[in-house]
Amino acid sequence: MKKFGIFLGVICWVVLGFWSQVDHAQAIETSEKIPEIYIKAINPGYTVDGKSNVGEMIEIARKNADAPISLAGATVGYTNSSGNYTVLVEFPEYSWMTGETLLLRLASSPDSELAAVNYMKTLAFKAALELKIGDEVVDSVCWTGKDGCYKEFRSASPTVLVRNLETGDFEHLVEYEAQYDTESYYVETVKEEDGYGKMVSQCRGLQFSEILSYYESAKTEQFIEFYNPGAEQILLDGCQLRYKNKNYALSGVVAAEGYFVYYPAGEFSLTKNPTNSNSLELIDVTGETVDALAYPNGQRKGTSYALIGYGDEGEEVWKVTYAPTPGGANNYQEFKTCEAGKVINEATGNCVKITSVAEKFCKEGYYLNVLTGRCNKVKIVAEKTCKEGYYLNPETNRCRKIKENDGADYNLTPENYEEQSSFVALYAVLGVVGVGLGYLIYEFRHEIVRLWRKVFRRVR
């Protein structure tokens, strides 16, 4: 019995040892399945209570949070169901991840401010995501429902695709809250005096300064100029230029109080003279709009649209200038520079020949019109004088007789004035009465004659 107990103990020890080795092997396998920096959770965003893209985010995590990890050369790329690949986030050279997780959100999401970095293009319900360091894919996940990918997202049943840290696999969870740490990410830039120093955001403080869209010979003439009015240099890595709903990566360093010129040829071309205003935006590494510019209709050959100065209330004053200055201080020139032998006609803005003007002479009584090169007659208006007893009427330029009254030749005779209207009324009444009497006499003439005869007989 004692031997049996010893035998059973040995068996249990062997079994426990075997299972511990299996667990250790699984732990190693899981650990190797999850890279040092990895994709932890994905939400493509949903429409909730009329708001779109609610909850859209990408959460990045790392195993060891004891020391900052460099994100130099790291990118997060997205492949849609059509196979088109887009870089959502390109981390600058001097960027660091200091926390355990790093939260990325869509810029148009209602919760975009709760993120270390914003991206511009929304995720699809069927797609794939890659996390790269340089050209190496360190982690990836797809959700198309086929070819070994996890099942797709469904708008009717909102979920978050979350990594199970025990198995290394992803699973759809109905409830998941991403972690946002304000100190999880920062960007450094090299400073000659201080070595490394922290920058809150990449492009903050940079502004549009000048743009040339109406090229004369080739699209390579087009440029967009930025100006850094600050006392510190600005690192452009990770910043983007947005034009017609597309983003274009920027890189380089803008010196303090310096200019940076971006030539879009090869990437895109600007509308030469837009019917409506065309807009450009400078997007920071955080996804925020640092500055915006709308250049209007009215661009012409040989001109640029430049920031000339500021108004009384501090507003920017932009004008079309015939003196483009890429990489230098802006200069306003209202009219084009004419070639030798021509001068500018300010009325039309065109150059006119001056050779005939210089050589041509007009005879006496004529003058030279420098715009037409023709001799025009000089119109002389002599001052008119009037003879004694007359004066000059300035309105008609005619002489009028002076009327005088010294009281001798024109005696003043008082006149009696009666109300004319009373006489008119009296005459009217008398006229009516006369007409009435005449009518009565005519109407009763026979009776009047007989009456008259009777009276005459009695008198006799």
**Shared domain check, 228 and 167:** no
pLDDT at 9: 55
pLDDT band at 39 (very low <50, low <70, confident <90, very high): very high
Q: Which domain holds residue 85?
A: 30-185
pLDDT band at 28 (very low <50, low <70, confident <90, very high): very low
**Shared domain check, 110 and 56:** yes
pLDDT at 355: 52
CATH code for position 59? 2.60.40.1260
Q: Which residue has the higher pLDDT, 402 or 309?
A: 309
**Shared domain check, 181 and 213:** no
Q: Residue 336 falls within a domain, yes or no?
A: no
pTM of the model: 0.46
CATH code for position 241? 2.60.40
Q: Residue 119 falls within a domain, yes or no?
A: yes
pLDDT at 11: 58
Beta-carbon contacts of residue 329 (< 8 Å; ≥ 6 apart): none
For the chain, percent of residues with pLDDT exceeding 70 = 76
The residue-averaged pLDDT of 288-305 equals 91
pLDDT tens digits, 321-350: 999 999 999 999 988 888 887 888 877 778
Residue 460 above 70 pLDDT?
no
Q: Which residue has the higher pLDDT, 454 or 279?
A: 279
Residue 139 above 70 pLDDT?
yes
Quote the number of domains for the chain: 3
Q: Which residue has the higher pLDDT, 271 or 373?
A: 271
Check: CB of residue 156 under 8 Å from CB of residue 47: no
**Shared domain check, 142 and 42:** yes
Q: Residue 280 falls within a domain, yes or no?
A: yes
**Shared domain check, 252 and 170:** no
Beta-carbon contacts of residue 238 (< 8 Å; ≥ 6 apart): 90, 91, 92, 95, 187, 202, 285
**Shared domain check, 51 and 154:** yes
Residue 52 above 70 pLDDT?
yes
Best mean pLDDT range from 34-43, 101-110, 349-358: 34-43
**Shared domain check, 218 and 288:** yes
Q: Residue 339 falls within a domain, yes or no?
A: no
Best mean pLDDT range from 8-12, 21-25, 61-65, 176-180: 176-180
The residue-averaged pLDDT of 218-239 equals 88
Q: Residue 391 falls within a domain, yes or no?
A: no
Q: Residue 355 falls within a domain, yes or no?
A: yes
d(CA 285, CA 199): 11
Check: CB of residue 240 under 8 Å from CB of residue 249: yes
**Shared domain check, 239 and 353:** no
Average pLDDT, rounded, for the chain: 80
Check: CB of residue 40 under 8 Å from CB of residue 158: no
Q: Residue 113 falls within a domain, yes or no?
A: yes
d(CA 198, CA 184): 13
Q: Residue 437 falls within a domain, yes or no?
A: no
**Shared domain check, 151 and 54:** yes
The residue-averaged pLDDT of 281-301 equals 89
**Shared domain check, 228 and 123:** no
pLDDT band at 219 (very low <50, low <70, confident <90, very high): very high
d(CA 324, CA 305): 8
pLDDT band at 423 (very low <50, low <70, confident <90, very high): low
Final residue before a domain boundary, out of 288, 321, 354? 321
**Shared domain check, 167 and 66:** yes
pLDDT tens digits, 172-185: 999 999 988 877 88
pLDDT at 320: 94
Q: Which residue has the higher pLDDT, 343 or 129?
A: 129
φ, ψ (nearest 5 deg) of residue 442: -65, -40
**Shared domain check, 311 and 220:** yes
